[in-house]
Structure 1
Amino acid sequence: MAGYVLVALAVLAVVLACASVRVVTQFERGVVFRFGRVLPEPRGPGLTLLVPVADRLRTVNMQIITMPVPAQEGITRDNVTVRVDAVVYFRVFDAMRVAVDVQNYEAAIGQVAQASLRSIIGKSELDDLLSNRERLNQGLELMLDSPAVDWGVHIDRVEIKDVALPESMKRSMSRQAEAERERRSRVITAEGELQASEKLAQAAEVMAAHPAALQLRLLQTVVEVAAEKNSTLVLPFPVELLRFLERATPSEQAGSTAGGADAATTPPAVPGPGVAPAPDGRAAAVGA
């Protein structure tokens, strides 16, 4: 009978020993409650001895936790309805507060994040949500970190992931972007025309001072056109020769015209006395 009692006591001792030994991993901290009252110091990683029946261990994860914030719909300050979602990165720095001061710190952080995101949407304009997200992320991080510090949680980072716009607003922004690109294109074209006109004016001044430069430029243009079009090369006709022919041609035409006019205006010969016209029209002498 005594042997059975000893065996039972040994089994009970082993069970109590197993129940009193716990393992805390490296990224966790253990908060011990003894008869419902928390001990002042949390347990570090490794083996932890507990008082059987009296102690209860609660482990708290100290790693950085990534929490997606569901998309929140709101109206911006310039009266545009948008849906914005975000992601929050946080970690526990005080395991005692997390275990005692808040029932479920992850759910609490999620609710505060949703409310803060809606508040940021109402205080911001659409252009800020689209282009100035860094400042909004910092403001959202401050809004979350203020209550989270009292719970033993530190907000490392908050990022706005996506801003969903209505289809009508997307079309309006597309037209605005197209108009802006068209304006830039016209400005660039006008600046190019201005620069080209300035260079052409400088070239005209140089060619006016040096006429030979104009002839060289003309020959170069003809060669380029013949090379690109693969056509026959046409040499320019000398301008001096054209001017010479222009001066010479009117005088010759005037001389020939004057000779014809003299022949046409000469009156026919009238036979004098004693002269009879010949049958062929020529005058003939008649003797007395």
Structure 2
Amino acid sequence: MVEELLGAAAGVAAAGAVYVAAAARVIKQYERGVVLRLGRLAGEVRPPGFTMIVPLVDRLHKVNMQIVTLPVPGQEGITRDNVTVRVDAVVYFKVVDAASALITVEDYKYAVSQMAQTSLRSIIGKSDLDDLLSNREKLNQGLELMIDSPAIGWGVQVDRVEIKDVSLPESMKRSMARQAEADRERRARIINADAELQASRKLADAARQMAETPSALQLRLLQTVMAVAAEKNSTLVLPIPVELLRFLERGDDHTERQTSAAPRPAESPAESPAERPVQEPPKAVEPPPEREVERTIDDIIEDAQGK
């Protein structure tokens, strides 16, 4: 009798162990469990941890609640300004209602992917090329609203949509490069013209200043000679101002006048006319040799180099 009871207890324990093994389920932290009992939703969504189901009656479906990164294949379209482009995007979404994501839509990932592709093509047709290239934040917000509106009924929430790349035809790339190059050249010409205008104003001010003091022009000429002669690798041709030659001529004339106006020595009274030495007739005064212009140029160059 005791042996039969022990055998029955062992059988019940074995059956219980088999039942627990068949009914026990473990749901991970990032998952939620949806139980379908005989094909119908049974109770609430099971939280993470250990849970039990009825074997052969219940079926547990685990739904991932993590954020899913879904790349959207490149979509070709024509923008509003008739430019053919190819745009790639990526969608970040997550499941917020596990029961709706499992029951309402057959495959929520595939549904979100198709919705993202159609929304992306619609955005391309409504936007200009400049918006696709420079105003992406606004387009990203528009895509997010277009995808999130139907996805709410599927138990899916779209967190963010980003346009990854905009591919342009080669002809359009060359046209944009030429446009950018022309714009840079235009700005460079404007800057050069502005610099020429400022330089001309400064030169005009300098010319007025030198007109008031003509000697400043001579000093500037000597400074230029010094700057050029310092290199010693070129031949210098220096024009001599006419004023300088006239100044040299005035100096020679003044020296001759001083020589002719010098007083002669007085005659001694003791000397008689007979005792006076016979003076030779004055020789013809030879004119002073003319100053060579080339020598004057060399003197000026040597003085400038010495300074």
Partner secondary structure for residue 63 of structure 2: strand
What percentage of residue pairs aligned between the two structures are identical?
67
AA in 2 matched with 1:57? L
Which residue, 33, 42, 47 being the options, matches 1:44?
Answer: 47
AA in 1 matched with 2:146? M
Which residue, 233, 239, 243 being the options, matches 1:240?
Answer: 243
Residue by residue over 1:89-115, the C-alpha shift from the partner in whole angstroms, topping out at 9 and shown as x without a partner, is 111122221122111110000000000
TM-score (norm 2): 0.72
Aligned to 1:193: 196
Report how far residue 236 of structure 1 moved: 8.0
Aligned to 1:87: 90
CA distance in 2, matches of 1:74, 1:97: 33
Report how far residue 117 of structure 1 moved: 0.6
Residue by residue over 1:114-144, the C-alpha shift from the partner in whole angstroms, topping out at 9 and shown as x without a partner, is 0001101111111211222121111111111
Report how far residue 211 of structure 1 moved: 3.9
Aligned to 2:105: 102
Report how far residue 239 of structure 1 moved: 5.6
Matched, 1:157 2:160: yes
TM-score (norm 1): 0.76
Report how far residue 8 of structure 1 moved: 4.3
After alignment, is 148-157 or 233-242 more displaced?
233-242
Report how far residue 155 of structure 1 moved: 1.1
CA distance in 2, matches of 1:120, 1:91: 23
Report how far residue 245 of structure 1 moved: 5.8
CA distance in 1, matches of 2:148, 2:158: 5
Partner secondary structure for residue 93 of structure 2: strand
Partner secondary structure for residue 87 of structure 1: strand
Report how far residue 4 of structure 1 moved: 6.0
Question: What's the Cα RMSD here?
Answer: 2.9
Aligned to 1:13: 16
CA distance in 2, matches of 1:100, 1:86: 28
Matched, 1:63 2:61: no
User: CA distance change for structure 1 residues 75 and 246 in 2, over 3 Å: closer, same or farther?
Assistant: farther
Contact 1:98 1:153 in 2 (8 A): yes
Report how far residue 233 of structure 1 moved: 8.5
User: CA distance change for structure 1 residues 27 and 222 in 2, over 3 Å: closer, same or farther?
Assistant: farther
Report how far residue 208 of structure 1 moved: 3.0
Partner secondary structure for residue 90 of structure 1: strand
Report how far residue 12 of structure 1 moved: 2.6
CA distance in 2, matches of 1:48, 1:137: 41
Aligned residues: 249
Which residue, 71, 77, 80 being the options, matches 2:80?
Answer: 77
Report how far residue 54 of structure 1 moved: 2.9
Residue by residue over 1:6-42, the C-alpha shift from the partner in whole angstroms, topping out at 9 and shown as x without a partner, is 5444333212102222111111111222332224422
Partner secondary structure for residue 80 of structure 2: coil
CA distance in 2, matches of 1:225, 1:102: 88
Q: List runs of 5+ in structure 1 lacking aligned partners.
A: 250-288
CA distance in 2, matches of 1:69, 1:144: 12
CA distance in 1, matches of 2:25, 2:58: 11
Aligned to 1:115: 118
Q: List runs of 5+ in structure 2 lacking aligned partners.
A: 253-307
User: CA distance change for structure 1 residues 215 and 83 in 2, over 3 Å: closer, same or farther?
Assistant: same
User: CA distance change for structure 1 residues 178 and 232 in 2, over 3 Å: closer, same or farther?
Assistant: closer
After alignment, is 230-239 or 198-207 more displaced?
230-239
Residue by residue over 1:60-116, the C-alpha shift from the partner in whole angstroms, topping out at 9 and shown as x without a partner, is 111111111001111111111111111111111222211221111100000000000
Partner secondary structure for residue 51 of structure 1: coil
